[in-house]
Structure 1
Amino acid sequence: MNAFQPKGNKARSRRGSVTTIGLCLAIALLEGLDLQSAGVAAPRIAKEFALSVAQMGWAFSAGAIGLLPGAALGGRLADRFGRKRVLMLSVALFGAFSLATTLVWSFESLLVARLLTGLGLGAAMPNLIALCSEAASPAQRSTAVGAMYCGMPFGAALAAAIGIISPGDEGWRHIFYVGGFGPLLMVPLLALWLPESAQFVEAKSQSTTNTEPPAGFVEALCSHGRARTTLALWISYLGTLIVLYFLMNWLPSMVLSNGLTRMQAGVAMMMFNIGGGIGAVGIANVMDRFSPRLTVLGMYVGIAAALAGLAGAGGSMSMAWGAFFCGLFLVGGQSVLYALAGQSYPTEVRGTGVGAAVAVGRLGSILGPLVAGQLFALGQSASMLVVASIPLIVVAALAALTVVGSFSPRLGAGAAVPGGRRA
């Protein structure tokens, strides 16, 4: 019987990993739907409340502002109380305030609802990354995080589909109904089926026998030689997310400004997110199988080329394909960055490290839509803004290559991570 025990343990571990990644994928899908919902609903929200382009930029950024403290706090709490508990609370929070968005009555109430929704959304992501990183074997961590993260663009594509089929000017609320009830229904499923990270449980039990106090916030990010990796992660997140969220929020308006229809704008948005879903899994899988450095270099070259193609697009077909390749490389690239963050920190501070990186990256999700909205209001063209974002991609690429150079993503069991700790 003992001869068969290791196989039984391995099978149970694999089932637990699949369950964890599957549930995290479902949450990521709902998070992607909610993040995209404001962009999809924007034209009809602006019409109902008579909002200017600049005001809609603030409405987009309100949710992003909530993401920043949510990510930092969610990651820190995950290292203290567990990934599962904090994730459940985060999901309940963004579900409740997504529903509250359907009840807004003014510009100010819209800002508050989106801000609090963003707080829950921000707290969820570090926990999703930590859970998937710790559920997978070291050689498959990028693929596991990518498989989870592909839910984000597919959820955003679902939001675009709901926007297309929702009738009339009042139809924008349907997106937020789905984005609210869906997460609330997932909370009991997480309570029943989501296992807590075994690595977290082990690290927590070891810390109880250790007389040293837990690492502080700065120590978690910078001690044991992690300062350079942390800074490079932050720069790569910031540059990539500025461009990603600019397109996520303003792509429909860009299509409309080229004289195309609302239906064609919805198709372009769906193509962007379908490409993102393919890229999230595909590029992460390439990362695990081949050279991490060449993978990162290739994905950023792809981002720059896709942005240049989108800037030169004019017709509906060229806009749709430009959006597809932007999604493929931008969203796929972001999934790789999330995987890199999960591998850059040891278990006991992984939530803190990932949460801090996500929080800094969220500055990009604030700045991208806000700056773009102000420039659009001043009469700048969409093509000019897309081209102007390419230098940011170059800076982000150099930072990401620095992170890859600091460690080997294909860690074996028990291999050292930056800082001399064990994965």
Structure 2
Amino acid sequence: MHANATSATSGEAARADTGRPTAIQIVTLVLCFLVVAADGFDVASVSYVAPLLRKMWSLTPAALGPIFGAGLFGLAVGSFVFGPLADKIGRKRVIALSLLLFGAGSLACAAAPSAGWLIVLRFLTGAGLGGAMPNAITLSSEFAPPRNRALLVTLMFCGFTLGLAFGGAVASVLIPSFGWQGVFAFGGLFPLVLAPCIWLWLPESLRFMAGKPRYAREAQRVAQRLGEAAHALLQGTHTEAGDTPRERVIGLLFSAQYRAGTALLWLAFFCTLWVYYQISSWLPLVITSAGIDPVHAARVGAMMPLGGTIGSLVNARLMDRRNPFLVLAASYAIAAVAIAAIGVSIHLPSLIYCSVFVAGYGLSGAQTAANVLVAGFYTTAARATGVSWALGVGRIGSIFGSMTGGVILAWFGRVEPAFIAFAVPVVLAGAAMVIAGRLYPRRSLDERAPAATPATSSGH
């Protein structure tokens, strides 16, 4: 049933894979960078408008929770819906559609007449984001040169961090003149402008189009623009004539080849975003409650994304050369120790900076690396679904984390044991990656080798 999607030999592919991206690959990575930057902007901007919403509508802190939670819930739903759709109609089309939904939802938020309406509109905005970011990761992975794939996809995902920083800067400029509505309006206009750019200039995945007659002409145009790089991208790709039925795409995630990896990756995604949202939601309050002034508290908080950016780049270089599961396991080990150290260093200014930085290095670095890993783990027919559903499970973890942080702090009554408890899920994620590293020992998870099959399966 499966046929090799290209006649290129292994030697041709090796010569074509110089590791240097072509012009079309650079365009793809830049456009996907802008897509995830829009996601980062939305995450940051809603936190900056929350105090204004609270004052305008006389909301209690508890009443703000559903406004934050609606976006996260929408992200989870969008991930589960748009992933299989992208494996059926293509990554490019789903990204453009998701940006339109995301942009329209955010623009409508600017006109929300009440908190109830804002909750509904934040859900729609989140649903659009849930389709955009996973498919940007998928498409970047399918276009990046295999030799430096992890590094280039990680650099693309740094757009999310830039969006976070840009969100604060834009909010500080727009709020004095246009209020909270201006922030939502800008957050809606950007993806609406980006959507036609995606439609005009973003190429569809060559791996997705291979073997599908209705995409033959488009695939030929993309292959011509790629030149020799097309051999490297298609080497080892297994495709089917025509579209893969939705039920079979989902079934691939739980087939004998993938079910163990799917379960272990989902556990890691759930635990990572669970703890990340616990810390990001409650660390500022914990720091200020310890007597640290708000200025220094903000500086401490900034150490988390800074460490995460550096950790992401280091992990990416290692993943291009080592077993990626074990690279993640090491990152989780670093994160667990650092998170536990936050609790005991909360009253030591110099040490708290270091602890939060290293926690970001390990935890945020691991999450970015996991995004790259999952994109290379599944076969082309199920890749968008695999990435989207893993992120969807992670979003459920983020909702759980934002809800349980305060409960854990109240349960222990002291910061030190609470942060040790925060570190426990990170240990579970690391253990899952150690097990996955033993089941899937190949250093590279692209499709040059047979589809990722546990070492205990037949044929290995």
TM-score bracket, normalised by the shorter chain, equals: 0.7 to 0.9
Separation in 2, partners of 1:318, 1:285: 28
Give SS of 2:320's match: helix
CA contact (8 A) 1:156 1:273 kept: no
Question: For 1:220-258, what per-residue CA distance to the aligned partner results, in whole angstroms no more than 9, with x for missing partners?
Answer: 211242111111111111000101123344444444444
CA contact (8 A) 2:284 2:298 kept: yes
Separation in 1, partners of 2:243, 2:308: 46
Separation in 2, partners of 1:189, 1:318: 46
In structure 1, the partner of 2:372 is: 339
Separation in 1, partners of 2:154, 2:41: 17
1:27 is displaced (CA, Å) by 1.1
In structure 2, the partner of 1:83 is: 91
Bigger shift: 133-142 or 123-132? 133-142
In structure 2, the partner of 1:93 is: 101
Choose which of 216, 221, 226 in structure 1 pairs with 2:253. 221
In structure 2, the partner of 1:35 is: 43
Question: Which residues of structure 1 form unaligned runs of 5+?
Answer: none
Is 1:102 the counterpart of 2:110? The answer is yes
Choose which of 177, 185, 188 in structure 1 pairs with 2:193. 185
In structure 2, the partner of 1:273 is: 305
1:65 is displaced (CA, Å) by 0.6
CA contact (8 A) 1:139 1:409 kept: no
Is 1:118 the counterpart of 2:126? The answer is yes
Is 1:326 the counterpart of 2:364? The answer is no
Separation in 1, partners of 2:250, 2:412: 43
1:53 is displaced (CA, Å) by 2.8
CA contact (8 A) 2:75 2:128 kept: yes
Separation in 1, partners of 2:113, 2:22: 48
Change (3 A) 1:367 1:218: same
In structure 1, the partner of 2:404 is: 371
In structure 1, the partner of 2:226 is: none
1:11 is displaced (CA, Å) by 11
CA contact (8 A) 1:153 1:276 kept: no
Separation in 1, partners of 2:34, 2:244: 38
Normalising to structure 2: TM-score of the pair? 0.80
CA contact (8 A) 1:28 1:151 kept: yes
Separation in 2, partners of 1:318, 1:174: 39
In structure 2, the partner of 1:145 is: 153
Amino acid of the residue matched to residue 418 of structure 1? A
Is 1:414 the counterpart of 2:448? The answer is yes
Change (3 A) 1:373 1:103: farther
Bigger shift: 215-224 or 9-18? 9-18
1:30 is displaced (CA, Å) by 1.4
Q: How does 1:220-259 map to 2 (within 5 A)?
A: 220-259=252-291
In structure 2, the partner of 1:405 is: 438
Is 1:298 the counterpart of 2:306? The answer is no
Change (3 A) 1:365 1:144: same
Give SS of 2:22's match: helix
CA RMSD of aligned residues (A): 3.3
In structure 2, the partner of 1:350 is: 383
Give SS of 1:389's match: helix
Question: For 1:353-397, what per-residue CA distance to the aligned partner results, in whole angstroms no more than 9, with x for missing partners?
Answer: 222211111111111112235667899666654332111101111
Separation in 1, partners of 2:161, 2:302: 9
Choose which of 420, 430, 433 in structure 2 pairs with 1:387. 420
In structure 2, the partner of 1:49 is: 57
| Count of residue pairs the alignment pairs up | 416
Normalising to structure 1: TM-score of the pair? 0.86
Change (3 A) 1:161 1:248: farther
Separation in 2, partners of 1:76, 1:412: 20
1:291 is displaced (CA, Å) by 4.8
Give SS of 1:289's match: coil
Question: For 1:305-328, what per-residue CA distance to the aligned partner results, in whole angstroms no more than 9, with x for missing partners?
Answer: 331343332477655554433332
In structure 1, the partner of 2:26 is: 18
Separation in 1, partners of 2:446, 2:390: 24
Amino acid of the residue matched to residue 410 of structure 1? S
1:13 is displaced (CA, Å) by 6.7
Separation in 1, partners of 2:358, 2:402: 20
Bigger shift: 26-35 or 161-170? 161-170
Amino acid of the residue matched to residue 343 of structure 1? G
Question: For 1:142-179, what per-residue CA distance to the aligned partner results, in whole angstroms no more than 9, with x for missing partners?
Answer: 22321222221221122234455666698544443332
State the identity as a percent: 34
Separation in 1, partners of 2:437, 2:35: 28
Structure of higher RCO (CA pairs closer than 8 Å, 6+ residues apart): 1
Give SS of 2:212's match: helix
Amino acid of the residue matched to residue 151 of structure 1? G
CA contact (8 A) 1:308 1:386 kept: yes
In structure 2, the partner of 1:133 is: 141
CA contact (8 A) 1:203 1:347 kept: no
